[in-house]
Structure 1
């Protein structure tokens, strides 16, 4: 019934998540682990390879650092994906994908819909549960790739873009965007509880892939299943844009690129104090002179 597809970096981690699935899924399944211990593939290519091998019509793309709490979750997935309007299913996502280069959480906590138990390296846990409507299933714009389920026919029509995304970031946001733009629903279920042992990382690779995503999807952003007033849209857009500029500055990206995003920030709200601070940082970067090396000699 369900093919579980894992881009695996660690055989022990793959065995552990496979054991967790076996104890809880409750329906016929298979595990397809794509060995990526040597970093041979980007995650898009690994997932496409795994999906091509799948014998079942339901596909579950998942990380190997998750564990399942809900017994019988396989049937719940099957029941939801029987609805042909649903293109992809997850457990955490955002109602609105902003125009700024941002991940699924860029819309802010108010517009996130989540049902995930985060486990941290020191052993403590935090439950992220945001479901103000109290629904079992909620439509969103994009979901997090820690666990994503689709019908095989959906993946066949809209496979992961391994040409653009050759690393490990924005594969999930882009997959959801493609599905959403073709009229299928992107959904979060609150009937399946999963624990996740990693919060991910926002590094230089993430920034490069954010830029790739924005360039590819520029004519399609922003989007989502909710309607926002113009003032609310500006408010939602400015925070992730400012965060992105900060990250570009810290990572030493070219000043011309940073200037483009600073200009976008100022257009959204010319008097915003944080945007004016970023403008000053950018100007300092732009006009910074190379430090002179002073040579001294002993008398």
Structure 2
């Protein structure tokens, strides 16, 4: 069973008609094998709701897909892709970095000026826009590579592995830096992470430099000190 875990400001019913992810998943519901844990009208931080979904999975194991609600799934074979990816890596995402550097403020950046890392260190492809075809495509680097950091746009992992390893999202982070922190905690536990080719279009290109982002970065630096 594949279970999407998504926090949204929409109501449950409107999620499937108003959001990119909801409209995408509505197409595949009749096929079976898919569940969606929707945290509707959500105001809590993503780690809080993600951790709740992990605890709920103690009695209902699944391949959990933590995903933003503004993501269009454009790949008809996304379920097969996810299963293929999870056979190779413990945690699968769409884009990431093969390395980490000190004081890294994002998976793709190397310094606080938001300087992009060299392309040979990046992996994954994500389209951007309001639907397909996308307005543009970010080709970070070849997919299917082992990475140190993953973009939190989509993170997939078997629920039983998260429970067995005691891996959770740190609730000191609300929206920013929870993904980098999660990856570093996963690495400490010896879990493998990698990108996988799945065709998607994201309606956002990311938010950086805002007061909440800076607060998240400060908390991240306070925890990891590098």
Cα distance 1:58–1:212, how it changes in 2: closer, same or farther (>3 A)? same
2:184 aligned with 1:177, yes or no? yes
1:30-49 equivalences under 5 Å are 30-37=35-42, 39=43, 41-49=44-52
Q: CA deviation digits over 1:240-290, x for unaligned, max 9?
A: xxxxxxxxxxxxxxxxxxxxxxxxxxxxxxxxxxxxxxxxxxxxxxxxxxx
Partners of 2:26 and 2:220 in 1: CA distance: 35
Give the structure 1 partner of residue 24 of structure 2.
Answer: 20
Partners of 1:56 and 1:67 in 2: CA distance: 25
Q: CA deviation digits over 1:70-112, x for unaligned, max 9?
A: 11211221232234xx221111111222211411111415222
Give the structure 1 partner of residue 107 of structure 2.
Answer: 104
Give the structure 1 partner of residue 8 of structure 2.
Answer: 8
Cα distance 1:171–1:35, how it changes in 2: closer, same or farther (>3 A)? same
Give the structure 2 partner of residue 72 of structure 1.
Answer: 77
- Displacement of 1:24: 5.0
Cα distance 1:94–1:149, how it changes in 2: closer, same or farther (>3 A)? same
Between the two proteins, the alignment pairs up a number of residues equal to 208
Q: CA deviation digits over 1:185-220, x for unaligned, max 9?
A: 111112x111100122121111111121122123xx
- Displacement of 1:49: 1.4
The partner residue of 2:202 within 177, 196, 209 is 196
TM-score (norm 2): 0.83
1:60-209 equivalences under 5 Å are 60-83=65-88, 86-107=89-110, 108-110=117-119, 111-119=121-129, 125-132=135-142, 137-156=144-163, 157-162=166-171, 164-165=172-173, 167-190=174-197, 192-202=198-208, 203-209=210-216
Partners of 1:199 and 1:128 in 2: CA distance: 10
- Displacement of 1:27: 5.7
Contact 1:24 1:73 (8 Å CA) reproduced: no
- Displacement of 1:22: 4.0
Partners of 1:7 and 1:109 in 2: CA distance: 32
- RMSD of aligned alpha carbons: 2.3
Contact 1:117 1:195 (8 Å CA) reproduced: yes
Partner SS for 1:93:
strand
- Displacement of 1:125: 0.9
Partner SS for 2:109:
helix
Cα distance 1:168–1:14, how it changes in 2: closer, same or farther (>3 A)? farther
Contact 1:48 1:159 (8 Å CA) reproduced: yes
Q: Which has the higher contact order (CA 8 A, sep 6+)?
A: 2
Between structure 1 and structure 2, the one with the greater Rg is 1
Partner SS for 2:216:
helix
TM-score (norm 1): 0.64
Unaligned runs of 5+ in 2: 111-116
Unaligned runs of 5+ in 1: 222-299
What stretches of structure 1 move > 6 A for 4+ residues in a row? none
